[in-house]
Structure 1
Amino acid sequence: AGITGTILILGHTDPLFLRELLEYRITQTVIDKAHGIQLDAAAAQAGQIPEVHLKIDSGMHRLGIDTRQPEDAAAMFALENLNITGIYTHLAATDSIAGEDIAYTRRQIDAFNGLLRTLQGMNIQIPLTHMQNSYGLLNYPDVCCDSVRIGASLYGMGSKEPHKSNVIIDLRPVLSLRARIVMIRTLEKGECFGYGMMFRADRKSRIAILPLGYVEGLPRKLACGRGTALVHGRRVPFAGLVCMDQLALDVTDVPDAKPGDTVTLIGRDGEEEIGIVDVAEAAETLHVEILCRIGQRVATVVIDE
């Protein structure tokens, strides 16, 4: 894919796949002491030393070696067949400026830094450190690590929600999702459309069919007008349920809409814009989930503007 930088797997990989990690020069996270020992044994058998980052649990209580067990972290640095090039933690509540969340985040930061000092006291050389995601960088710029793990902000998302950050940055969204109308169906007043007859025409209606659905990542909860799209710069509601491979829009109020026309599901069309956050709120989920749900069947086109 032309990627030349370091690829770090943040989750668990079974040591059975060590050869693939080595072949593609992928850096693996050590999620706990047992996992590190297993990876070390597999590396000894393979006769090659993989690069790994050590995950530390500072309070998220998911993956990682507990900050209260520095001896387990030190034991990982003593393994002969792992090259530990990084050590990191993950913060649980950086996307909130509520007092209790700020206090919890500060405790996590202090716990992680305390572990690093303990390891240094054991004469262990500390490798690359990182703990901040996008909101972690915005809300805790004083954190002194070597690297950051920004994700959503790279797509121009976030920073405009007042309960999440006091730092407002005018990020420009860089992702759009578009499709073309493949068919327009005319319904008479009282006729129904789609699964469960969820859409009932209260007037003579024009329904546009698009060739994408929840397989492509559009949540089923956008059904029945909760979701909207842009056609010719005008906002139109979803009609009926989002299907596996198809969805429908009520384009009655866009009389010149026709097959072949471009529909914007995420992005700007004229003066109107639908952001990923808008889609997420309509679907009662997170914007990052919408981003991650967009499937491989969706063609990716890079436009240099």
Structure 2
Amino acid sequence: MLESYSRAWCEIDLDAIAHNVEEIQKLVGHTKIMGIVKANAYGHGALACAQALTRCGIEIFGVSSIDEAIELREGGIEADILILGYTPPRHFDKLAEYGLIQSLVSCAYAKKLEQYGEANDVVFRAHAKIDTGMNRTGIVYQPDHKHFDELKDVYRLDHVRVEGIFSHFPVSDDLGEDALSFTKRQIALFDEAVERLRAEGIDPGARHIQNSYGILNYHDLGYDYCRPGLLYMGVTSDDAIEINSAPDFIPILSVWANVSVVKWLKPGETVSYGRHFKAEKPTKIATISIGYADGLPRLVSNQGVQVLVHGVPCPLVGNVCMDQCMVDVTAVENVQEGDVVCLVGEQNGHKMTIDRLSRLAHTINNETLSQIAARMPRLKKREQ
């Protein structure tokens, strides 16, 4: 077990990223990987994950914002960085200063970049986003309204150099008939837009559309890049969702905390805010030094979630507090202050998954992981 000054921490198995990247590459063949490290790499630590991905040969990263991109640059990442989201015009200067690639969220936005570039003698690097059905950002290219003239316009700007084109899947995780039809229509629209650009003598640049489930379920599209996020971290959004492949991923994250107090409750005594747990018999309770401010969802309170104490599954009881939670350890001998508890990961041959927490919190692993607090140290796992 690693040492930490904190009373709760994460361990990140950065070495397992290489294995997961290999599993992704098996699915997508010659398509290159764009490492998505937005939201602090979904809670895993953006810079450390980017460094590990760099060692795997990844040459381009995707982030959500200018802040995230600058963090990588200042951390020593020299590879291409694509900002997938919106950068306010007041920060256009940073795009050039840090050598970043900006996604064009609309034609009007691209023209703002052009105006700034012309006024300041700057040429911006960019990827054109087209909206094939997500209806979030991008130049609209859908069956009844194909704004192809706008797409051509952004490629012909003088101070915005468009080096790629991409779109996004909203239901690539769904293998139902309607979702399959919708996603295949998106692929057809994307391909059509690319071919129309080529017919106009325009090089569309690097093409990418596959998110994590796009990789798992539509892995043979043959585009230039794919955009895995959770996959290189060894997990999917929901373990229960059927997928059209069978990769062998290794989860890279585990979560640990210390026991701070052990006490016995008499029958009738209660635990935590709201007094939702009442002891029906003499019950040994261990207070664990982790709470919802660390990223343990309060919604899992009184839902039957278990943690590992001395490798024994023990139920969490009462409401999760901001910095602490309580566990029934009656079945475990010799529990004492300072003992290490496993909330996610493996201890003495037993496993607890992040997916279990997400299901009981009625959400997906993307959210549960990305809400792990900054105050939780991310420690590099060592061989035990």
The question of 1:276 aligning with 2:354 is answered yes
Question: 2:103 — aligned with what?
Answer: 29
How large is the Cα RMSD of the aligned pairs?
Answer: 1.8
Question: 1:189 — aligned with what?
Answer: 267
Structure 1: segments with no counterpart, 5+ residues:
none
CA distance in 2, matches of 1:214, 1:7: 32
Q: How does 1:50-69 map to 2 (within 5 A)?
A: 50-67=124-141, 68-69=146-147
Question: 2:78 — aligned with what?
Answer: 4
Q: How does 1:40-59 map to 2 (within 5 A)?
A: 40-59=114-133
Q: How does 1:1-305 map to 2 (within 5 A)?
A: 1-67=75-141, 68-158=146-236, 161=239, 163-305=241-383
| 1:292, distance to aligned residue in structure 2 (A) | 1.0
CA distance in 1, matches of 2:120, 2:267: 70
Q: Which amino acid aligns with 2:103?
A: T
Deviates more, 1:36-45 or 1:235-244: 36-45
Identical pairs, percent: 33
> Is the 1:26–1:51 contact (alpha carbons within 8 Å) kept by the matching residues of 2?
yes
CA deviations 1:108-137 (Å, max 9, x no partner) are 000011001111111111111111012211
Deviates more, 1:256-265 or 1:22-31: 22-31
> Is the 2:237–2:364 contact (alpha carbons within 8 Å) kept by the matching residues of 1?
no
Q: Which amino acid aligns with 2:138?
A: G
CA distance in 1, matches of 2:128, 2:293: 35
Residue aligned with 2:296, SS: coil
> Is the 1:277–1:286 contact (alpha carbons within 8 Å) kept by the matching residues of 2?
yes
Question: 2:41 — aligned with what?
Answer: none
Structure 2: segments with no counterpart, 5+ residues:
1-74
Compute the TM-score of the two structures, normalised by the length of structure 1: 0.94
CA distance in 2, matches of 1:167, 1:76: 37
> Is the 2:296–2:372 contact (alpha carbons within 8 Å) kept by the matching residues of 1?
yes
| 1:225, distance to aligned residue in structure 2 (A) | 4.2
Residue aligned with 1:202, SS: coil
CA distance in 2, matches of 1:287, 1:183: 30
CA deviations 1:210-264 (Å, max 9, x no partner) are 2222222221111014322111111111121112222222222213221111111
Q: Return closer, same or farther for 1:44/1:184 CA change in 2, 3 Å cut-off.
A: farther
CA distance in 1, matches of 2:113, 2:326: 49
Compute the TM-score of the two structures, normalised by the length of structure 2: 0.75
CA distance in 2, matches of 1:118, 1:192: 68
Deviates more, 1:62-71 or 1:14-23: 14-23
| 1:185, distance to aligned residue in structure 2 (A) | 3.3
